[in-house]
Amino acid sequence: MPAHRRRHRSGTTSCSHSPKRLSALGILLAAFSLLLALPAHAADIPARGTAHLGMGVVAHDGQGGTPATGDATQTEGVDVSSHQGNVAWATLWGSGVKWAYAKATEGTYYTNPYFAQQYNGSYNVGMIRGAYHFATPDTTTGATQANYFVDHGGGWSKDGRTLPGVLDVEWNPYGASCYGKTQSAMVSWISSFLTQYKARTGRDAVIYTATSWWTECTGNYAGFASANPLWVARYATAVGTLPAGWTYYTMWQYTSSGPTVGDHNKFNGALDRVVALANG
């Protein structure tokens, strides 16, 4: 064995500062620095498909109490997704809940595995029910997502018990709040969805959103108010300022911590108005 290798093994010659070791050490330090530089919330990004109505409301708008109960001109409703699993519909019906929306789809990559139990179960206890779609404007076009929604539970039938589909457009739980779109591009995306949904079903879809998101991401666009009912999210004792164009709300999601299932809502009218919306 050459003398220099014998010296290396015996420890008389150190190679701890060899170029290869320095290079490896540099890579490890750079990787560690990059990890420290990542946003603290990066690890909290949820899995695709897990989004639901009002997912970002508390974080962005806060939660400031709930409205008074027992208003005869308001009709109680709930919204559910896979987070609720199999829902105790009889319990909700017994507590006065008369209408429900179930998440059907998200983007063009997800269908709710509990949709049948939720959509049919609410109907079977006597509720007026509907389906909603969680929009991901950064993945595919609005028209493409409208077709996916209709093809996977978001259709409509005039049976007096089926509400029009809902476009849930709100904070992006997977990245930038406005999905990387300009305000005008977001309005165009929403319009594409709404136009295709009506072409497929004959109904104008309901728009679910929060005023703060709508203002930030559409520039507080007022052009949908004349045709599309508003379902507004605001977890407080009062609904607050509505998005531009709408002078009243049709539905109000007022809490994410209600009984039996968290998301509870008020329909702005008595039960006969819920039926009227179902009938178109």
pLDDT score of 77: 98
pLDDT in tens, 87-139: 999 999 999 999 999 999 999 999 999 999 999 999 999 999 999 999 999 99
**57-279 fold:** TIM Barrel (3.20.20)
pLDDT score of 48: 84
Segments of the chain with pLDDT less than 70: 1-43, 50, 54-66, 68-72
pTM: predicted TM-score of the whole model, two decimal places: 0.81
Query: Angle, nearest 10°, between helix axes 211-218 and 183-201?
Result: 110
pLDDT score of 57: 65
DSSP annotation of 56 reads T
DSSP annotation of 83 reads G
Catalytic residue among 61, 76, 106, 168: 168
pLDDT score of 67: 73
71 in active site: no
Q: In this structure, which amino acid lies at residue 240?
A: G
pLDDT in tens, 171-191: 999 999 999 999 999 999 999
Is 134:106 a contact under the CB 8 Å cutoff?
A: yes
216 in active site: no
Catalytic residue among 79, 106, 204, 263: 79
Task: For the chain, give every domain's residue range.
Answer: 3-37, 57-279
Is 251:207 a contact under the CB 8 Å cutoff?
A: no
pLDDT score of 233: 96
DSSP annotation of 173 reads T
* β-bridge pairing 230-233 and 264-267: unpaired
pLDDT score of 162: 98
pLDDT score of 23: 56
Catalytic residue among 76, 106, 170, 204: 170
168 in active site: yes
